[in-house]
Amino acid sequence: MDPNLRAAAKDLMIRYGGDTFPNLFRSAKGTIVTDDEGREILDFTSGQMCSTIGHNHPAIVKAINQSCESALHMFSGMVPEPVVKLAQKLEDWLPAPLRKSLFVNTGSESNEAALRMAKLVTGGYEVIALGGSWHGTTGASAAASFASDRRGYGPKVPGNHVLPEPNAYRCPIEHCRDACDLTCLKVGLRMFDMATDAAPAALIAEPVISAGGVIMPPEGYLEALRDACDARGMMLVFDEAQTAFGRLGAKFAATKWGVVPDIMAVSKTLGGGIPLAATITSDEIEEKAHAAGFTYYTSHVSDPMPAAAGLAVMETIERENLIEQATTRGAYLRRGLETLQQKYEAIGEVRGEGLLLGVELVKDRESRAPHHELGSVTTQRCFELGLSMNIRRRPERGSVWRIAPPLTVSEDELDRGLAILDEALSDGLDQLART
């Protein structure tokens, strides 16, 4: 450990939100991150939900090395070969009629491009998003994010409306308990229809609301979103930043549930740790957007190196059968979490799909009062014991662990993580009982 370097981190870096560890970190490989004291920490968050195939997978390292020998960056008007190869691979995976891709760097950008395209093609500007949603921190994506961090930054992009999210465990309109009957959607759409300026453009949704607490779509919900958009002349945009490329045990949430959006935004899970995102649409919509003068060029649009990494990620998922593994390992992890639920009253619900799971912590199961203190102390205790966890703590949305290890995680690593969770919950409850 270098105390001077730790001090420099505190002295020189802008604090950018969220929980920050006191340690610095040196390396990452597979499911393990190593800190500046040499401690190995099991990663149950895939970095920032990005390391789909594990940290520093050899296929990604090889792709980057080859890019260093060929090209890292080009003028935006020059389309590199790796970009086209990635577009071809994506077309093979995507549900029809989605097949046209624009490659950028982050999820915020892919959502910006999607909303920009929807507004241009429809001629409207109004956007509907779900409560608990997180689509980014840039202009339009931030305006359509309702999970947190909306206050203090001045006026948002105009025309944004919120739908109550379909959280049957913690119903935002206090109507359902444990089984959503889509009343939240009906009420939200009715409110939009009253407030609209008759300029609808898009409804943007995460198929699984991740940052909002791993909220699963109830039966028929995504189909109802599709119908609502068609009835209002709006485009349906799926933000599949965290659900695409195998994490749910399917190529995309759109294919898992059989609902195809007009535009799909993908990001985190495509780059495997490298900044890469894409906005994807149909021939028809792309043609209309182009005819209307669609532009979205940035300094790093269609860069070759990230595209090469993305292609390596997709090929590795195919070669190592990681979509099937997400299903089996996800079921294994869920069984372990449900065993802990039987042991601890504080675990109110285990939910999710594949290797994207949520664990909601409560003070008791009847009132379902969020147990924010337990979430805080146990997450810290997990790190002390060698497990990196992500806790989502919002007063109105509960205290939820969002668990998403790399698709390459082994059963032994899952057992190790579950054992640490068990110990951390026991220690945390004991600590709180003493205070």
Average pLDDT over residues 185-200: 97
Rounded percentage of the chain residues whose pLDDT exceeds 90: 92
- Determine the pLDDT at residue 16: 86
Q: Which of 13-17, 259-263, 393-397, 428-432 has the lowest mean pLDDT?
A: 393-397
pLDDT-derived band at 146 (thresholds 50, 70, 90) equals: very high
- Determine the pLDDT at residue 362: 96
Here the tokens at position 383 are 């790190």
Q: Is the pLDDT of residue 122 over 70?
A: yes
Here the tokens at position 343 are 């042991």
pLDDT-derived band at 64 (thresholds 50, 70, 90) equals: very high
* Residues with catalytic function: 134, 206, 239, 242, 268, 402
- Determine the pLDDT at residue 397: 67
pTM: 0.96
pLDDT-derived band at 1 (thresholds 50, 70, 90) equals: confident
- Determine the pLDDT at residue 354: 97
Q: Is the pLDDT of residue 44 over 90?
A: yes
CA distances from 118 to 105, 125, 262, 263, 354 (A): 20, 8, 9, 8, 31
Q: Is the pLDDT of residue 230 over 70?
A: yes
Rounded percentage of the chain residues whose pLDDT exceeds 70: 99
- Determine the pLDDT at residue 85: 98
- Determine the pLDDT at residue 214: 96
Contact predicate 53/408, CB 8 Å = yes
Max intra-chain CA distance, the chain: 67
Contact predicate 188/162, CB 8 Å = yes
- Determine the pLDDT at residue 417: 98
Question: For all residues of the chain together, what is the average pLDDT?
Answer: 95
- Listed residue (404, 417, 414, 401) closest to 359, CA to CA: 401
pLDDT-derived band at 165 (thresholds 50, 70, 90) equals: very high
Here the tokens at position 387 are 């497990």
Each residue's pLDDT tens digit, 367-424: 999 999 999 999 999 999 999 999 886 666 679 999 999 999 999 999 999 999 999 9
For residues 391-420, one letter each, b for 16 or more C-beta atoms within 10 angstroms of the residue's C-beta and e for the rest, the string is: bbbbeebbbbbbbbbbbbbeeebbebbbeb
Each residue's pLDDT tens digit, 408-424: 999 999 999 999 999 99
298 contacts: CB under 8 Å, gap ≥ 6: 76, 104, 105, 109
- Determine the pLDDT at residue 161: 97
Average pLDDT over residues 286-307: 96
Domains belonging to the chain, first-starting first, are: 3-56+321-434 (3.90.1150.10), 59-319 (3.40.640.10)
How many of the other CB atoms lie within 10 Å of CB of 249? Answer: 21
Average pLDDT over residues 352-377: 95
Q: Is the pLDDT of residue 149 over 90?
A: no
CA distance 17 to 264: 28
Average pLDDT over residues 303-310: 97
CA distance 241 to 206: 8
Average pLDDT over residues 156-181: 94
